[in-house]
Structure 1
Amino acid sequence: MWLNLFAASAVLLAAGCTSRQPPAKDLGADIDEVTATLIEQPLLHSTSIAVVYRGEAFIRHRGDMVAGQPGAPTDATLYEIGSLSKTLAGMLMAKAVLERKVSLDDDVRMYLDGAYPNLAYQGEPIRIRHLLSHTSGLPNMLPEQANTVLADFTDHSTPRALNALYANYGKADFLNDLHTVDIPRMPGKEYAYSSAGTELAAHILERAYTSDYESLLRRFLRDSTGMTGVRIRLDDAEAARLAVGYHSDNPVPTTPMPKLPWGASGNVKATVPDMVKYLEFQLAGGPVVTESHRPLVAFDPEFSIGYFWNIVSGDRLKGVYYAHHGGVPRSQCYVYILPKYELGVFVITNQSGDQTARAMEAAVDTLVERIAAREKAAGLSL
């Protein structure tokens, strides 16, 4: 879905130069209006949004979690953030690079037991940088059958089929299947989205730090960002707080995303207040964030990839920004980091269909347009 990130904004604005801060008092009303409009879209039952703008944080929850039953999500609601999980894995890998636990140019086979001659093309191995930039040539998912299931994502049978595939599929199964992968081209050249690559990155992190991935993630987030509620696996009490969600146009709530071997590519759960802290951490731009935002591959003048981050330039309204989409069978979300406005946005819905991402993109675009207009009126430098 990364292509959806690059739709040109309908409004292009310019502004003068001054150091004055723009008025923020009306931003809450703008967020209210944007979220209200978002849940008017077909099939969308509810939404939550977090916005951090020039140091001020806003959270909004709107709609009914269960269709037809009053009850909005809350700050305690745990959401499945899907592939936004990859940006967390990228952050951990950036930390490992800075600490010299790994090198971007390491052959991934350095961290695997046994022989994997197949993880190379004409003598060029898959390197860690190729996993982070989706240029490894690995398939999207392992086992390979999952890619067939996901080819018709909106079919009502998809969640059930995924659950069956991953019911007893663990790390050993993944590493065994990795022996059967065929790399079709030179690594580092072509973009091909790979959740399997993120799972392999999590395995490498476990080897580098001799600790399980979830413990690494939770410890880093607690110590560096103050995020204490992030989970991959849930206990019974936490599972009771997991957001209800809907797949495609099925009116019956569906099951959560099944557990992947490491969970790094799509199994993270978080509350919206925790995502506010994540936005603040990204906007603060410390060493780990700066490294994770560093372009590893430029595909054209307007699109490059960092440590799993999509990096978009050439948008006159947004400036250079960092974004990622997340989707599982019963929720979809986006995160945007826009340094031009000192702005971070996280938006999530508890419905997952073929039009959900576009609806959220439109909501974010509207919000950015309003902030840009406010800054222009205030004479803030753009």
Structure 2
Amino acid sequence: MSKKSKKKWRQLGELITQSMQEKEIPGVALGIWHKGKARTAGFGVTNVDHPHDVTDTTLYQIGSITKTFVALAIVQLVEAGKLDLNLPVRTYLPDFQTQAPEVAANVTVRHLLTHTAGWDGDLFHDTGSGEDALTRYAKVLAEQPQILPLATAVSYNNASFSIAGHLIEQVTGQPFETVIKERIFQPLGMKDAYFDARDVITHRFAVGHNGGKVARPWYLTRSAYPAGGICCHVNDLLRYGRF
């Protein structure tokens, strides 16, 4: 690293440390890919109750970055001729229902990925940890209010990505998590990327916090995995970012 780069790296670290103090952020993992090289650093701790230093192998929930993995898997299936972004969801999920029958009949795969389906997107409903979690979630969605007419506005929609995950399962005949692992994690060498908290707890991981306190529970239910369930470290996230 050149003298100029070292100075910028130090200044970036100082900025992060300052922001952590101002916003009560316990820990941060930083990763930058520049000119063919990865630069990583850890700041703070994983857990204010049981503190360990954050490193570049500390697992974090990456939240809604997970949605880009879902979109990538969908596009892979499009390229394989198994999906069409412009066909109705019912092409692949014949029993799909929403509160508005005309929406259920016309909503497309593209609408799911572009946050334009129009139904209430904040449905975090625990449908269990079994392999039918997303199937059961799709049935619950039928009770969600239709907030906007289909395709008239962009409104952030977690629920649509759970439906997209369910669609992936139906088209491939595999659990959603297996599809993401086999089609994305494994080819990219993301060896420490997980969905299940039971896998995560065997590694050093950062828990969620509300201000300066640990948030409990910090994990998502299985039905919300497509909306934000991936846990990985910054090195694996850089591998994905370079893809």
For the superposition of Structure 1 and Structure 2, which TM-score range results when normalised by the shorter chain? 0.7 to 0.9
Give 1:119 deviation, angstroms: 5.4
Question: Do the aligned partners of 1:36 and 1:62 also contact (CA within 8 Å) in 2?
Answer: no
Say if 2:144 is the partner of 1:181.
yes
Structure 2: runs of 5 or more not aligned: none
Change (3 A) 1:103 1:254: same
Question: Do the aligned partners of 2:32 and 2:39 also contact (CA within 8 Å) in 1?
Answer: yes
Aligned with residue 17 of structure 2, among 22, 33, 39: 39
What residue in structure 2 maps to residue 60 of structure 1? 41
Question: Do the aligned partners of 1:64 and 1:71 also contact (CA within 8 Å) in 2?
Answer: yes
Change (3 A) 1:262 1:185: closer
Say if 2:112 is the partner of 1:131.
yes
Question: Do the aligned partners of 1:111 and 1:204 also contact (CA within 8 Å) in 2?
Answer: yes
Change (3 A) 1:121 1:186: farther
Give 1:96 deviation, angstroms: 1.1
Give 1:252 deviation, angstroms: 4.2
TM-score, scaled relative to structure 1: 0.56
**Cα separation, 2, equivalents of 1:233 and 1:141:** 21
Change (3 A) 1:28 1:220: farther
Give 1:217 deviation, angstroms: 0.5
Question: Do the aligned partners of 1:79 and 1:243 also contact (CA within 8 Å) in 2?
Answer: yes
What residue in structure 2 maps to residue 3 of structure 1? none
What residue in structure 1 maps to residue 82 of structure 2? 101
Question: Do the aligned partners of 1:134 and 1:191 also contact (CA within 8 Å) in 2?
Answer: yes
What residue in structure 2 maps to residue 243 of structure 1? 206
Change (3 A) 1:24 1:255: farther
**Cα separation, 1, equivalents of 2:56 and 2:104:** 51
The 3-state SS of whatever aligns with 1:244 is coil
TM-score, scaled relative to structure 2: 0.84
CA deviations on 1:334-372 (whole Å, 9 max, x unpaired) are xxxxxxxxxxxxxxxxxxxxxxxxxxxxxxxxxxxxxxx
CA deviations on 1:320-342 (whole Å, 9 max, x unpaired) are xxxxxxxxxxxxxxxxxxxxxxx
Say if 2:234 is the partner of 1:267.
no
Structure 1: runs of 5 or more not aligned: 1-22, 147-164, 282-382
Say if 2:129 is the partner of 1:166.
no
Matches within 5 A, 1:331-342: none
What residue in structure 1 maps to residue 188 of structure 2? 225
Counterpart amino acid of residue 12 in structure 2: V
Counterpart amino acid of residue 71 in structure 2: G
The 3-state SS of whatever aligns with 1:235 is helix
Question: Do the aligned partners of 2:169 and 2:176 also contact (CA within 8 Å) in 1?
Answer: yes
Instruction: Report percent identity of matched pairs.
Output: 21
Matches within 5 A, 1:72-83: 72-83=53-64
What residue in structure 2 maps to residue 90 of structure 1? 71
Question: Do the aligned partners of 1:130 and 1:188 also contact (CA within 8 Å) in 2?
Answer: yes
Change (3 A) 1:28 1:274: farther
The CA RMSD over aligned residues, in Å, is 2.8
**Cα separation, 1, equivalents of 2:190 and 2:184:** 5
Counterpart amino acid of residue 37 in structure 1: L
Change (3 A) 1:187 1:77: same
What residue in structure 1 maps to residue 8 of structure 2? 30
Change (3 A) 1:246 1:122: closer
Question: Do the aligned partners of 1:28 and 1:58 also contact (CA within 8 Å) in 2?
Answer: no
Question: Do the aligned partners of 1:121 and 1:184 also contact (CA within 8 Å) in 2?
Answer: no
Give 1:82 deviation, angstroms: 0.7
Change (3 A) 1:239 1:58: same
Change (3 A) 1:89 1:167: closer
Counterpart amino acid of residue 65 in structure 1: T
Report how many residues are paired: 237
**Cα separation, 1, equivalents of 2:2 and 2:82:** 43
